[in-house]
Amino acid sequence: MKHLPFSLGRVRLALLSGVVLSCCGVSSAYAGTSYCCADASGRRTCGDILPAVCYDRAYTVMSGGRTVREVEAPLTPEQRAKKDAELRAGRDRAAKEAEARRRDQVLLESYSTIAELDRRRDRDVGNIEGELRGARAREADLLAQQAALLKRKPASGNVPRDVAEGLVSAESELEAVRSVILSKQRDLDQLRARFDADHARYLQLSGQGGGTSATSPQR
């Protein structure tokens, strides 16, 4: 009987240890990671590794009874193509916006006033207009030469060699000069359009009103 308290103490200790171990086991299982998704019928399926039924579905990662992460379903080829197109469009928009900001900065740094911008416009426009006048004057000379040669061309029979060669040369040079005229005219139109846009943008960026602008480009 003198050993009874000791035996009871051991029993109590064993029982207490069992309770602690049981609690720890429950806690350990409760804290484990699981993966859950809804199958084709809508039934929730979970596992300590990702169930095969969840491979092509959205699933939830659980830990300690709480959601720690939501994983989207894999994209179909059509969805992937659409997403890639949206990403490319977003990058293109960002690049255009960055380029627009760069142009705005260059514009403000290039001209201290709107009048200075307009003086640069008039100078550049004048240069191209001068080149155009020269090309058109050469065209007129060639047309005159061609007309003079045509007068010497007989109505029938053999054409004198110098007349034939002169006509070929004049036609070839006329083609080249007219190509230059078309190119210079395109350059002039583009230059005017660019300076018109720069003029309007400078006023907007600098906060100036329309009354402060210089004379618009002459057409």
pLDDT (tens digit, 9 = 90+) per residue, 108-160?
A: 999 999 999 999 999 999 999 999 999 999 999 999 999 999 999 998 889 89
At 104 the pLDDT is 95
Residue 209 has pLDDT above 80, yes or no: no
Question: For 154-200, what is each residue's pLDDT tens digit?
Answer: 988 898 999 999 999 999 999 999 999 999 999 999 999 999 999 99
This prediction's pTM: 0.55
Q: Is 159 helix (H, G, I), strand (E, B) or coil?
A: coil
Residue 219 has pLDDT above 50, yes or no: no
Q: Which long-range contacts (CB under 8 A, 24 or more apart) does 198-206 make?
A: 198/107, 198/117, 198/121, 199/114, 199/117, 199/118, 199/121, 201/104, 201/107, 202/107, 202/108, 202/111, 202/114, 202/117, 203/114, 205/104, 205/107, 205/108, 206/108, 206/114
Q: How would residue 213 be classed by pLDDT, with cut points 50, 70 and 90?
A: very low
Q: How far is CA 210 from the centre of its chain?
A: 32
At 177 the pLDDT is 97
CA angle 72-75-79, nearest 5°?
125
More confidently predicted of 88 and 28: 88
Question: For 38-95, what is each residue's pLDDT tens digit?
Answer: 988 889 999 999 999 898 889 999 998 899 999 988 888 898 898 899 999 999 999 9
CA angle 127-129-131, nearest 5°?
75
At 198 the pLDDT is 96
Q: Which one-letter amino acid corresponds to residue 135?
A: A
